[in-house]
Amino acid sequence: MNKLLALLLATAFTSSIAATTSPTVEVKAEAPKTKQVCIDVQGKDGKPVIDPKTKKPKQDCKTVKVHKKHEGTAVPEKKK
């Protein structure tokens, strides 16, 4: 019984020390970088649809996230 009590006190003491000495880390939520991508709208015949007011092709625009490109390592060739 005494060993169990000592073990319980030791774990409580070490966890409280670890909690007080660990550095605090602030996590800042950054907004993801985005860019707008526009594609000309095409009719059934495959030609771009022209807006009658502006006389320019209609465009479908979407906002997409820009992902960070990771550099890869070369894949080693198999030995035969």
Q: What is the pLDDT of residue 36?
A: 94
Assign 70 a pLDDT band (cuts: 50, 70, 90): confident
Q: What is the pTM of this model?
A: 0.43
Whole-angstrom distance, CA of residue 46 vs CA of residue 49: 9
Model pLDDT for residues 3-49, shown as the tens digit of each residue: 767 776 777 666 555 555 556 667 677 777 899 999 999 999 999 99
Q: How many residues does the chain have?
A: 80
Whole-angstrom distance, CA of residue 19 vs CA of residue 7: 18
Assign 74 a pLDDT band (cuts: 50, 70, 90): confident
The DSSP string of 6-41 is HHHHHHHHHHHHHHHHSPP-PPP-PPPPEEEEEEE-
Whole-angstrom distance, CA of residue 5 vs CA of residue 11: 10
